[in-house]
Amino acid sequence: MRHFSFLDGQAARTLFHRAPEEITTGGDRRLVATALGATLYAPGTRPRLASDVRRQVAAGVTSMVLCLEDAIADHEVLGAESNVAAALADLGEDPPVCGDGLPLLFVRVRAVAQIPALLARLGGPARSLLAGFVLPKFGEESGEAALEAVLRGSDTLGRLLWAMPVLESPQVIYRETRIEALTAVRRLIDKHADHVLAVRLGATDLSGVFGLRRDRDLTIYDIAVVRDCIADIVNICARGGDHVVTGPVWEYFAQPERLFVSSLRVTPFEEADLVDGSERGARIRTELVSADLDRLIREVVLDKANGLIGKTVIHPSHVPAVHALYVVTQEEYEDAEAVLEGDAGGVRPSSYANKMNELRPHRPWAQAVQRRARAFGVLREGLTFVDVLAATQDALR
Protein backbone atom coordinates (compact mmCIF):
# COMPACT_ATOMS: atom_id res chain seq x y z
CA MET A 1 0.00 0.00 0.00
CA ARG A 2 1.04 3.59 -0.51
CA HIS A 3 -0.60 6.66 1.01
CA PHE A 4 -1.84 9.40 -1.33
CA SER A 5 -1.37 7.18 -4.37
CA PHE A 6 -4.42 8.92 -5.89
CA LEU A 7 -2.40 12.14 -6.36
CA ASP A 8 -0.98 12.69 -9.82
CA GLY A 9 2.74 13.25 -10.22
CA GLN A 10 2.63 17.05 -10.30
CA ALA A 11 0.35 17.31 -7.26
CA ALA A 12 2.59 14.96 -5.29
CA ARG A 13 5.74 16.86 -6.24
CA THR A 14 4.12 20.16 -5.23
CA LEU A 15 3.04 18.77 -1.86
CA PHE A 16 5.86 16.50 -0.72
CA HIS A 17 9.50 17.14 0.09
CA ARG A 18 9.71 13.37 0.60
CA ALA A 19 6.94 11.28 -0.93
CA PRO A 20 5.28 8.40 0.96
CA GLU A 21 6.92 5.04 0.38
CA GLU A 22 5.22 1.87 -0.77
CA ILE A 23 4.72 -0.27 2.34
CA THR A 24 4.62 -4.04 1.97
CA THR A 25 2.29 -6.07 4.18
CA GLY A 26 5.06 -8.27 5.54
CA GLY A 27 7.58 -5.48 6.07
CA ASP A 28 8.94 -3.95 9.26
CA ARG A 29 6.26 -4.43 11.90
CA ARG A 30 6.28 -0.94 13.41
CA LEU A 31 6.40 0.68 9.98
CA VAL A 32 3.39 -1.34 8.77
CA ALA A 33 1.53 -0.48 12.00
CA THR A 34 2.30 3.21 11.51
CA ALA A 35 1.05 3.05 7.93
CA LEU A 36 -2.37 1.68 8.94
CA GLY A 37 -3.58 5.25 9.30
CA ALA A 38 -7.35 5.58 9.52
CA THR A 39 -8.63 2.00 9.73
CA LEU A 40 -12.18 1.85 8.38
CA TYR A 41 -14.57 -0.66 9.98
CA ALA A 42 -17.32 -2.26 7.89
CA PRO A 43 -19.98 -4.70 9.18
CA GLY A 44 -19.57 -8.16 7.71
CA THR A 45 -23.26 -8.13 6.78
CA ARG A 46 -23.03 -5.40 4.15
CA PRO A 47 -24.74 -6.79 1.03
CA ARG A 48 -22.18 -5.38 -1.45
CA LEU A 49 -19.10 -5.78 0.71
CA ALA A 50 -16.61 -6.44 -2.08
CA SER A 51 -17.86 -3.41 -4.03
CA ASP A 52 -17.60 -1.29 -0.89
CA VAL A 53 -13.96 -2.29 -0.44
CA ARG A 54 -13.15 -1.50 -4.07
CA ARG A 55 -14.77 1.92 -3.72
CA GLN A 56 -12.66 2.77 -0.67
CA VAL A 57 -9.44 2.21 -2.62
CA ALA A 58 -10.24 5.23 -4.76
CA ALA A 59 -11.02 7.24 -1.60
CA GLY A 60 -7.54 6.73 -0.14
CA VAL A 61 -8.41 4.07 2.45
CA THR A 62 -5.36 1.91 3.18
CA SER A 63 -6.66 -0.42 5.91
CA MET A 64 -10.08 -1.93 6.60
CA VAL A 65 -11.63 -4.29 9.12
CA LEU A 66 -14.52 -6.54 8.12
CA CYS A 67 -16.36 -7.02 11.39
CA LEU A 68 -17.98 -10.21 12.66
CA GLU A 69 -18.29 -8.97 16.24
CA ASP A 70 -20.03 -5.94 17.73
CA ALA A 71 -21.00 -4.44 14.36
CA ILE A 72 -23.47 -7.28 13.71
CA ALA A 73 -26.32 -8.82 15.66
CA ASP A 74 -25.99 -12.29 17.21
CA HIS A 75 -28.45 -13.86 14.77
CA GLU A 76 -26.48 -12.51 11.80
CA VAL A 77 -23.18 -14.27 12.55
CA LEU A 78 -23.48 -17.24 10.18
CA GLY A 79 -24.65 -15.05 7.32
CA ALA A 80 -21.88 -12.55 7.97
CA GLU A 81 -19.21 -15.28 7.95
CA SER A 82 -20.42 -16.44 4.53
CA ASN A 83 -20.65 -12.88 3.28
CA VAL A 84 -17.07 -12.04 4.32
CA ALA A 85 -15.71 -15.24 2.73
CA ALA A 86 -17.62 -14.48 -0.47
CA ALA A 87 -16.36 -10.88 -0.52
CA LEU A 88 -12.74 -12.00 -0.17
CA ALA A 89 -13.23 -14.51 -2.98
CA ASP A 90 -14.80 -11.82 -5.17
CA LEU A 91 -11.94 -9.38 -4.46
CA GLY A 92 -9.39 -12.09 -5.23
CA GLU A 93 -10.95 -12.81 -8.59
CA ASP A 94 -11.52 -9.18 -9.53
CA PRO A 95 -9.14 -6.81 -7.70
CA PRO A 96 -9.42 -3.05 -8.24
CA VAL A 97 -7.43 -1.55 -11.07
CA CYS A 98 -6.97 1.90 -9.52
CA GLY A 99 -4.47 2.96 -6.85
CA ASP A 100 -1.88 0.56 -5.44
CA GLY A 101 -4.17 -2.40 -4.85
CA LEU A 102 -6.50 -3.26 -2.01
CA PRO A 103 -6.32 -1.86 1.50
CA LEU A 104 -4.85 -4.12 4.16
CA LEU A 105 -7.86 -6.27 5.02
CA PHE A 106 -8.47 -7.67 8.50
CA VAL A 107 -11.36 -9.67 9.90
CA ARG A 108 -12.57 -8.95 13.42
CA VAL A 109 -13.77 -12.23 14.91
CA ARG A 110 -15.99 -12.78 17.92
CA ALA A 111 -14.73 -16.30 18.66
CA VAL A 112 -11.35 -17.99 18.17
CA ALA A 113 -12.99 -20.83 16.23
CA GLN A 114 -13.89 -18.37 13.46
CA ILE A 115 -10.21 -17.98 12.53
CA PRO A 116 -9.57 -21.51 11.21
CA ALA A 117 -13.14 -21.75 9.94
CA LEU A 118 -12.76 -18.66 7.75
CA LEU A 119 -9.33 -19.70 6.49
CA ALA A 120 -10.75 -23.09 5.52
CA ARG A 121 -13.33 -21.34 3.32
CA LEU A 122 -10.75 -19.28 1.44
CA GLY A 123 -9.16 -20.62 -1.69
CA GLY A 124 -7.10 -19.41 -4.59
CA PRO A 125 -6.41 -15.66 -4.81
CA ALA A 126 -8.57 -14.90 -1.76
CA ARG A 127 -5.95 -16.46 0.49
CA SER A 128 -3.45 -13.77 -0.44
CA LEU A 129 -5.77 -10.88 0.45
CA LEU A 130 -6.24 -11.38 4.17
CA ALA A 131 -3.72 -9.36 6.21
CA GLY A 132 -4.78 -10.74 9.57
CA PHE A 133 -7.32 -10.78 12.38
CA VAL A 134 -8.57 -8.31 14.98
CA LEU A 135 -8.98 -10.01 18.37
CA PRO A 136 -11.64 -8.34 20.57
CA LYS A 137 -11.98 -8.51 24.37
CA PHE A 138 -8.31 -9.46 24.52
CA GLY A 139 -6.92 -10.52 27.87
CA GLU A 140 -4.83 -13.09 29.68
CA GLU A 141 -7.46 -15.85 29.65
CA SER A 142 -8.44 -15.65 25.98
CA GLY A 143 -5.38 -14.01 24.47
CA GLU A 144 -3.03 -16.97 24.23
CA ALA A 145 -5.57 -19.14 22.38
CA ALA A 146 -6.42 -16.30 19.99
CA LEU A 147 -2.79 -15.57 19.14
CA GLU A 148 -2.00 -19.25 18.73
CA ALA A 149 -4.91 -19.52 16.27
CA VAL A 150 -3.42 -16.70 14.20
CA LEU A 151 -0.02 -18.41 14.26
CA ARG A 152 -1.56 -21.68 13.09
CA GLY A 153 -3.38 -19.73 10.39
CA SER A 154 -0.04 -18.37 9.21
CA ASP A 155 1.27 -21.90 8.96
CA THR A 156 -1.83 -22.92 7.02
CA LEU A 157 -1.37 -20.14 4.47
CA GLY A 158 2.41 -20.38 4.42
CA ARG A 159 2.81 -16.65 5.06
CA LEU A 160 2.55 -14.08 7.82
CA LEU A 161 -0.84 -13.18 9.27
CA TRP A 162 -1.01 -10.19 11.59
CA ALA A 163 -2.92 -10.08 14.88
CA MET A 164 -4.37 -6.89 16.37
CA PRO A 165 -5.61 -7.39 19.95
CA VAL A 166 -8.32 -5.00 21.21
CA LEU A 167 -8.18 -3.87 24.83
CA GLU A 168 -11.76 -3.25 25.95
CA SER A 169 -12.58 -5.54 28.88
CA PRO A 170 -13.71 -4.48 32.37
CA GLN A 171 -10.46 -5.90 33.79
CA VAL A 172 -8.53 -3.35 31.73
CA ILE A 173 -10.46 -0.31 32.93
CA TYR A 174 -11.23 -1.26 36.55
CA ARG A 175 -8.54 0.40 38.63
CA GLU A 176 -8.02 -2.55 40.99
CA THR A 177 -7.36 -5.06 38.15
CA ARG A 178 -5.90 -2.82 35.44
CA ILE A 179 -2.17 -3.10 36.08
CA GLU A 180 -2.23 -6.87 36.49
CA ALA A 181 -4.38 -7.25 33.35
CA LEU A 182 -2.18 -4.97 31.25
CA THR A 183 1.01 -6.60 32.50
CA ALA A 184 -0.39 -9.96 31.38
CA VAL A 185 -1.27 -8.46 27.99
CA ARG A 186 2.25 -7.11 27.63
CA ARG A 187 3.72 -10.55 28.33
CA LEU A 188 1.50 -12.07 25.63
CA ILE A 189 2.24 -9.49 22.95
CA ASP A 190 5.97 -9.67 23.74
CA LYS A 191 5.85 -13.46 23.40
CA HIS A 192 4.13 -13.20 20.02
CA ALA A 193 5.65 -9.89 18.92
CA ASP A 194 6.46 -11.16 15.42
CA HIS A 195 2.72 -11.50 14.74
CA VAL A 196 1.22 -8.63 16.80
CA LEU A 197 0.98 -5.69 14.45
CA ALA A 198 -0.67 -3.17 16.78
CA VAL A 199 -2.75 -2.96 19.94
CA ARG A 200 -6.14 -1.34 19.42
CA LEU A 201 -8.30 0.44 22.01
CA GLY A 202 -11.99 -0.35 22.44
CA ALA A 203 -13.06 3.02 23.83
CA THR A 204 -16.76 2.36 23.26
CA ASP A 205 -16.70 -0.78 25.42
CA LEU A 206 -14.45 0.84 28.03
CA SER A 207 -16.84 3.79 28.32
CA GLY A 208 -19.86 1.48 28.34
CA VAL A 209 -18.64 -0.30 31.46
CA PHE A 210 -19.54 2.89 33.34
CA GLY A 211 -22.63 3.76 31.31
CA LEU A 212 -20.74 6.58 29.58
CA ARG A 213 -20.52 7.79 26.02
CA ARG A 214 -18.54 10.80 24.89
CA ASP A 215 -20.59 13.56 23.32
CA ARG A 216 -19.68 14.75 19.85
CA ASP A 217 -18.50 18.03 21.40
CA LEU A 218 -15.93 16.16 23.51
CA THR A 219 -12.92 13.96 22.90
CA ILE A 220 -12.24 10.63 24.55
CA TYR A 221 -9.69 12.45 26.72
CA ASP A 222 -12.53 14.39 28.36
CA ILE A 223 -13.89 11.10 29.77
CA ALA A 224 -11.72 10.83 32.88
CA VAL A 225 -11.89 7.08 33.53
CA VAL A 226 -11.07 6.26 29.90
CA ARG A 227 -8.32 8.90 29.76
CA ASP A 228 -6.66 7.36 32.82
CA CYS A 229 -6.95 3.90 31.29
CA ILE A 230 -5.37 5.05 28.01
CA ALA A 231 -2.46 6.51 29.96
CA ASP A 232 -1.80 3.16 31.65
CA ILE A 233 -2.16 1.25 28.37
CA VAL A 234 0.47 3.48 26.77
CA ASN A 235 2.65 3.23 29.89
CA ILE A 236 2.68 -0.57 29.88
CA CYS A 237 1.97 -1.72 26.32
CA ALA A 238 3.78 1.00 24.35
CA ARG A 239 6.73 1.37 26.74
CA GLY A 240 10.07 1.07 25.01
CA GLY A 241 8.59 1.64 21.57
CA ASP A 242 8.34 -2.06 20.75
CA HIS A 243 4.57 -1.98 20.18
CA VAL A 244 2.24 0.47 18.45
CA VAL A 245 -1.02 1.39 20.21
CA THR A 246 -3.69 2.88 17.94
CA GLY A 247 -6.18 5.62 18.68
CA PRO A 248 -9.77 4.76 19.68
CA VAL A 249 -12.75 4.87 17.35
CA TRP A 250 -14.35 8.12 16.24
CA GLU A 251 -18.01 7.21 16.06
CA TYR A 252 -19.87 10.32 14.90
CA PHE A 253 -21.30 11.55 11.63
CA ALA A 254 -22.11 15.16 10.83
CA GLN A 255 -24.88 16.94 12.71
CA PRO A 256 -25.87 20.59 12.20
CA GLU A 257 -26.68 21.42 15.83
CA ARG A 258 -23.66 22.11 18.06
CA LEU A 259 -23.42 23.06 21.72
CA PHE A 260 -19.90 24.56 21.63
CA VAL A 261 -18.14 26.84 19.18
CA SER A 262 -15.40 25.13 17.17
CA SER A 263 -11.90 25.28 18.64
CA LEU A 264 -10.35 24.77 15.19
CA ARG A 265 -8.15 27.84 14.68
CA VAL A 266 -8.71 30.02 11.65
CA THR A 267 -5.06 31.02 11.18
CA PRO A 268 -3.67 27.86 9.46
CA PHE A 269 -6.46 28.04 6.89
CA GLU A 270 -5.98 31.77 6.28
CA GLU A 271 -2.23 31.21 5.83
CA ALA A 272 -2.93 28.55 3.23
CA ASP A 273 -5.07 31.07 1.33
CA LEU A 274 -2.27 33.63 1.44
CA VAL A 275 0.10 31.15 -0.24
CA ASP A 276 -2.09 30.44 -3.25
CA GLY A 277 -4.26 33.58 -3.25
CA SER A 278 -7.51 31.63 -3.01
CA GLU A 279 -10.24 31.22 -0.42
CA ARG A 280 -9.95 27.46 -0.46
CA GLY A 281 -8.53 27.25 3.08
CA ALA A 282 -11.49 29.13 4.54
CA ARG A 283 -13.86 26.87 2.60
CA ILE A 284 -12.12 23.73 3.86
CA ARG A 285 -12.40 24.94 7.46
CA THR A 286 -16.12 25.60 7.00
CA GLU A 287 -16.59 22.11 5.56
CA LEU A 288 -14.66 20.49 8.42
CA VAL A 289 -16.73 22.29 11.05
CA SER A 290 -20.00 21.57 9.24
CA ALA A 291 -19.15 17.87 9.12
CA ASP A 292 -18.02 17.79 12.78
CA LEU A 293 -14.56 16.76 11.58
CA ASP A 294 -12.96 19.50 13.66
CA ARG A 295 -13.73 17.37 16.73
CA LEU A 296 -12.06 14.38 15.10
CA ILE A 297 -9.04 16.53 14.26
CA ARG A 298 -8.73 17.61 17.89
CA GLU A 299 -8.88 14.00 19.09
CA VAL A 300 -6.24 12.86 16.58
CA VAL A 301 -3.92 15.65 17.75
CA LEU A 302 -4.42 14.45 21.34
CA ASP A 303 -3.87 10.84 20.25
CA LYS A 304 -0.49 11.82 18.78
CA ALA A 305 0.44 13.83 21.87
CA ASN A 306 -0.30 10.83 24.07
CA GLY A 307 1.70 8.29 22.09
CA LEU A 308 -1.04 6.72 19.94
CA ILE A 309 -0.70 6.29 16.18
CA GLY A 310 -3.55 5.62 13.76
CA LYS A 311 -7.31 5.78 14.27
CA THR A 312 -10.35 3.55 14.03
CA VAL A 313 -13.06 5.24 11.92
CA ILE A 314 -16.55 4.29 10.78
CA HIS A 315 -17.03 6.49 7.70
CA PRO A 316 -14.84 7.23 4.66
CA SER A 317 -15.23 10.98 5.24
CA HIS A 318 -13.05 10.62 8.35
CA VAL A 319 -10.07 9.22 6.45
CA PRO A 320 -8.63 12.32 4.69
CA ALA A 321 -8.48 14.36 7.91
CA VAL A 322 -6.68 11.59 9.81
CA HIS A 323 -4.15 10.97 7.05
CA ALA A 324 -3.48 14.68 6.57
CA LEU A 325 -2.58 15.01 10.25
CA TYR A 326 -0.05 12.18 10.05
CA VAL A 327 1.97 13.70 7.22
CA VAL A 328 5.23 14.95 8.72
CA THR A 329 5.95 18.67 8.54
CA GLN A 330 9.30 19.96 7.36
CA GLU A 331 10.03 21.22 10.87
CA GLU A 332 9.32 17.84 12.48
CA TYR A 333 11.45 16.10 9.89
CA GLU A 334 14.48 18.37 10.27
CA ASP A 335 14.31 18.18 14.08
CA ALA A 336 14.12 14.38 13.91
CA GLU A 337 17.05 14.21 11.50
CA ALA A 338 19.11 16.43 13.81
CA VAL A 339 18.33 14.24 16.83
CA LEU A 340 19.32 11.06 14.97
CA GLU A 341 22.60 12.43 13.60
CA GLY A 342 24.53 11.24 16.64
CA ASP A 343 24.10 9.19 19.79
CA ALA A 344 26.59 10.91 22.08
CA GLY A 345 23.89 12.87 23.88
CA GLY A 346 23.80 16.57 24.48
CA VAL A 347 21.49 19.36 23.40
CA ARG A 348 21.26 21.17 20.08
CA PRO A 349 19.09 24.13 19.13
CA SER A 350 16.52 23.46 16.43
CA SER A 351 17.31 25.03 13.07
CA TYR A 352 13.93 26.71 13.47
CA ALA A 353 15.27 28.61 16.52
CA ASN A 354 12.17 27.84 18.57
CA LYS A 355 13.09 24.79 20.66
CA MET A 356 15.92 22.63 22.00
CA ASN A 357 16.49 19.10 20.71
CA GLU A 358 17.85 16.75 23.37
CA LEU A 359 19.55 13.93 21.54
CA ARG A 360 18.94 11.11 23.99
CA PRO A 361 15.41 11.70 25.36
CA HIS A 362 14.08 12.79 21.95
CA ARG A 363 15.55 9.82 20.08
CA PRO A 364 12.48 7.50 20.33
CA TRP A 365 10.30 10.41 19.19
CA ALA A 366 12.61 11.04 16.23
CA GLN A 367 12.51 7.37 15.22
CA ALA A 368 8.69 7.45 15.29
CA VAL A 369 8.72 10.60 13.13
CA GLN A 370 10.94 8.83 10.60
CA ARG A 371 8.46 5.95 10.38
CA ARG A 372 5.64 8.45 9.81
CA ALA A 373 7.75 10.15 7.15
CA ARG A 374 8.23 6.88 5.30
CA ALA A 375 4.53 6.00 5.52
CA PHE A 376 2.87 9.40 5.01
CA GLY A 377 5.58 11.56 3.50
CA VAL A 378 7.13 14.92 4.43
CA LEU A 379 5.58 18.22 3.43
CA ARG A 380 7.46 20.95 1.64
CA GLU A 381 8.53 23.96 3.65
CA GLY A 382 5.61 26.20 4.65
CA LEU A 383 2.88 23.66 3.87
CA THR A 384 0.49 22.22 6.48
CA PHE A 385 -2.22 19.60 6.79
CA VAL A 386 -4.58 22.14 5.19
CA ASP A 387 -2.64 21.80 1.95
CA VAL A 388 -2.89 18.01 2.20
CA LEU A 389 -6.66 18.25 2.62
CA ALA A 390 -6.91 20.63 -0.33
CA ALA A 391 -4.87 18.33 -2.59
CA THR A 392 -6.93 15.34 -1.45
CA GLN A 393 -10.20 17.12 -2.20
CA ASP A 394 -8.98 18.13 -5.66
CA ALA A 395 -7.89 14.58 -6.49
CA LEU A 396 -10.94 12.76 -5.16
CA ARG A 397 -13.59 15.18 -6.35
* Domains in the chain, CATH or no CATH each: 36-254+291-326 (3.20.20.60), 330-390 (no CATH)
pLDDT in tens, 320-357: 999 999 999 999 999 999 999 877 778 888 888 888 88
Lowest mean pLDDT among 21-25, 30-34, 56-60, 163-167: 56-60
CA distance 123 to 116: 13
pTM of the entire predicted model: 0.90
Supply the pLDDT for residue 277: 56
Phi (first) and psi of residue 214, to 5 degrees: -70, 140
pLDDT of 101 > 60? The answer is yes
- Arithmetic mean of pLDDT, 48-61: 90
CA-based R_g, the chain, Å: 21
Do 262 and 289 touch, CB atoms closer than 8 A?
yes
- Beta-carbon neighbour count of residue 206 at 10 Å? 24
Q: What is the pLDDT of residues 174-192, one digit of tens each?
A: 999 999 999 999 999 999 9
